[in-house]
Structure 1
Amino acid sequence: MDTAALQVFQAAARSGSVSKAAQLLNYAQSNVTTKIKQLEKELGAPLFYRHNRGITLTPAGKTLLAYADKALRLLEEARKAVQDASTPTGPLSIGSMETTAAVRLPHLLADYHRMCPEVDLAFVTGPSQHLIQAVLDYSLDGAFVMGPVEHPELLQDSVFEEELVLVTDALRPRPEFPKELTDRTVLVFRSGCSYRAKLLGWLQEEGVMPVKIMEFGTLETIIGCIAAGLGVSLLPESIVRSKARESLVRFYPIPERYGRVQTVFIRRKDAYLTQAYKLFLHEIKQRFLLPDSPGQPS
C-alpha cells in the first residue's frame, strides 16, 4: 500500500468525486480510478459505492479513511521533523474569531511576519465552534476562540478577557433592556458564534424573544447596520469603543455572567511543534498570556 495510493483515496473520499480528486491532485482521472482499483484489489474489498452523483464510501472505505488520515498525517509530521531548521519556515495555519482578529491580533501578525518572512502563514476567521472543529480535524494548527474549551485532545491557553456589551445606534435613547429587545432586530454572526450564543442565552433566560434575528458574515457589516438603526448586537467593548467616541453607536453593560468572557488559544495535544509554531506560541505568551493560563506553550 503506497503513499500515493492513500493520497488519491483520501482525496476521492473527501471530495466524493473521482474527477474532483483528479483536479485536486493534478492527476489524470484515469490515474485516480486505477489507483483506487489497485487499493481495492490489494485489500480485497470495495472502498466506494459508485452512483450517478459521484462516489460514497463503503464501510470498508470508512475504516480505511480513518487509518489513511492518521498515516498521512504522521508522514507529514516526519517530513517536518526532518526538514525543520533553526530558521522558521514552512506553513502555519491559524484561526480566530473575527472580533479578536480585528482588534487584538493585527500587531502580532505583522510583527511575526517581519520576524519570520519565510513562514507561509495562513490566517482565517470564523465562529468559535467551527474553529474548534478545524483544529480537531488538523485543518488549523491553532485558533483563538471563546473559552473555556474542554476537550481531551486539546490544550488551551488563556490569552485575554473581554467585556461584552449591548450595542445600539447612537440616536436611540438608552433602551429598557432586555424587555425592549422584544421589538428590536438582533444582528448576529452565523451559527457557531459564541457571542451569538451568549446573547440568545441571556434573552432566553429573561423570557425575551427578539422580533427578528439577522445573520451577517463580517464585523464591519454588523457595526454599520447597528449605526444605521437596523438593530442591536452583543460585541466586545474593545471593538466598539472607538465607534462610540465617533458617536456612531452606543453601548451598555449586561449582566456579568454573560458579559465577561475569556479568549483562549487552542491547539491539539499531539500537534508537532515546528520552529515556526514554537515562535508563534512564544509571541502569544509574551504579548497576551494570562498568569493563570493552564497551557504550556514552548
Structure 2
Amino acid sequence: MTLGQLRTFALVAKLGSLHAAAAHLGVSDPAVSAALAALRQDLDDPLFIRAHGGIALTPGGRALAEYAQDIVGLADKARWEVAHAQTETGRLKIVATAPFAEHAAGRLLDLFTRRVPGASVDVVVEQAEDVASLMLERVYDIALGIRPPVRNGAAHNSADSKDAADVGLDSVPFLRYQRVFVVAAGHPLASLHGPVRLSEFLGRPWFAGPAGIQETSEEGRWLAAQGVVPEIVCLSSETEALAAVRAGEGTMLALGHIVRAEIRSGSLVRVPVAGTPISGLWWASTLDRGRATTMARTLQRFAGTADATAAMVAPGGSRGLERRGPKFHVALWS
C-alpha cells in the first residue's frame, strides 16, 4: 500500500468515477485501474463495484476511504510544514459563491484557521460570472463554491479540468452535494407521488437565496435543460427561503444534507420531481502554473480532507454569512 495508491483511491471515492479521477490526476484510466488493483490485492477486498455508470463502495471500501482521506491529508500537511518551516503570514483573500458561503464557508474556514499556523482569512461573496476575472486580476487568492465559468469562448465541462487551465485557473472538486425539492408537510404538493413533472411547480411560489439558481451550477444546467422558466423569488439567504417553505408558502431546491433531518422528522417533504436529486460539486480554484500563494494551495488541499468535509456537512445553525454594504462577507469565530 503506497501513498500514491491511497491518493488515487481517495479521489475515486470522492468523485465516484475512475475516469474522472484519471482526468483530475492527469494520468490514463489504466494507470488508475492499476493502482486500485494493487490496493485490492493488498487488502484482499474488492473495495468497490461498478454501479449506474459510476462506482459503489463496498463496506471495506467505505472504511478505506475514511483512512485514505485522513492519510493523504496528513501527508500533504506534513509536506507543507516541512517545506515552509518559516510560515507565510498575511490575510488570505477568498471569493465564494453565495450558497457555499452561507452553508459551509464559515465552518470550513474556522477549522482551517485553527489547524494551519498563521492562517487568517477574509471572504467576500461575488456573482459566479465575475469570479474568473477577479481571480485573474489577483483580487482574490482562491475561489470556493461553483467552478468559475470558462472565458475566451471555451465550452464548460465540469468533468474536464483542462477548461479551467485555459483561463489560468486550477480547479479541484472537494465536496459533492445534492439538491432536492422540498415543501412543508401540509403543502398541496406534499401528497404527490413520483415522478412529478416540473410543470406542477409553474405558477407556484418557488424560493431561492440571493443568487437564485446559478446558470453555471449543475442545478442551473438541469433547469435550463427542462425547457421551462419558473418564476423564482430570491430572498436574502437560503435560510430565509427555507423558512418560507416551512411556513407552507412554496417550494425550493434545497441542499439535501441541510434538510435531511427535517425530511426524516416529517416536517418537510421531498417532492420526487423527475430528474432529481440533482448532484453537483463545490470546487476550490487557484491561479495555475505555480502562481497561487502557498496559503491558497494549502486551503485548496485542506478543503478535500475528511475533517473539512465533516465540518461542512455537520448539522446545525448558521455558517456565518452576513451582509456588509453591497456585498456579503463570512464572519468567522474561534
Q: 1:128 to 1:254 in 2, by over 3 A?
A: farther
- Indicate the residue corresponding to 1:225 in structure 2: 244
What are the equivalent positions in structure 2 for 1:37-56 lying under 5 Å apart? Answer: none
Q: 166-175 or 272-281, which moves further after superposition?
A: 272-281
CA contact (8 A) 2:217 2:280 kept: no
- Indicate the residue corresponding to 1:165 in structure 2: 180
Q: 1:114 to 1:199 in 2, by over 3 A?
A: closer
Structure 1 residues 38-73: Cα deviation after superposition (integer angstroms, max 9, x where no partner): xxxxxxxxxxxxxxxxxxxxxxxxxxxxxxxxxxxx
Matched, 1:267 2:286: yes
Q: 1:198 to 1:170 in 2, by over 3 A?
A: farther
CA contact (8 A) 1:154 1:269 kept: yes
Alignment partners' CA distance in 2, 1:249 and 1:185: 16
- Indicate the residue corresponding to 2:295 in structure 1: 276
| Gaps in structure 1 of 5+ consecutive residues | 1-83, 291-298
Matched, 1:241 2:256: no
Counterpart selection for 1:215 from 214, 217, 234: 234
Give 1:237 deviation, angstroms.
0.8
SS of 1:183's partner is coil
SS of 1:143's partner is strand
What are the equivalent positions in structure 2 for 1:60-75 lying under 5 Å apart? Answer: none
Matched, 1:188 2:208: yes
Superposition misfits of 4+ residues, deviation over 6 angstroms: none
Alignment partners' CA distance in 1, 2:261 and 2:247: 16
Q: 188-197 or 212-221, which moves further after superposition?
A: 188-197
Matched, 1:94 2:99: no
| Gaps in structure 2 of 5+ consecutive residues | 1-83, 148-157, 310-334
Give 1:106 deviation, angstroms.
4.1
What are the equivalent positions in structure 2 for 1:142-157 lying under 5 Å apart? Answer: 142-147=142-147, 148=158, 150-151=163-164, 152=166, 153-157=168-172
Alignment partners' CA distance in 2, 1:270 and 1:109: 25
Structure 1 residues 190-229: Cα deviation after superposition (integer angstroms, max 9, x where no partner): 457437965565556445443x321123121111111122
Q: 1:91 to 1:164 in 2, by over 3 A?
A: same
What are the equivalent positions in structure 2 for 1:124-135 lying under 5 Å apart? Answer: 124-135=124-135
Aligned length: 206
Give 1:167 deviation, angstroms.
2.0
Give 1:121 deviation, angstroms.
0.6
CA contact (8 A) 2:95 2:125 kept: yes
Matched, 1:178 2:228: no
CA contact (8 A) 1:168 1:251 kept: yes
Across the aligned residues of Structure 1 and Structure 2, the Cα RMSD in angstroms comes to 3.4
- Indicate the residue corresponding to 1:123 in structure 2: 123
CA contact (8 A) 2:204 2:250 kept: yes
Q: 1:159 to 1:289 in 2, by over 3 A?
A: farther
Alignment partners' CA distance in 2, 1:146 and 1:110: 20
CA contact (8 A) 1:87 1:275 kept: no
Alignment partners' CA distance in 2, 1:127 and 1:248: 33
Q: 120-129 or 189-198, which moves further after superposition?
A: 189-198
Alignment partners' CA distance in 1, 2:129 and 2:213: 7
Q: 1:278 to 1:178 in 2, by over 3 A?
A: closer
CA contact (8 A) 2:208 2:241 kept: yes
SS of 2:179's partner is strand
AA paired with 2:280? V
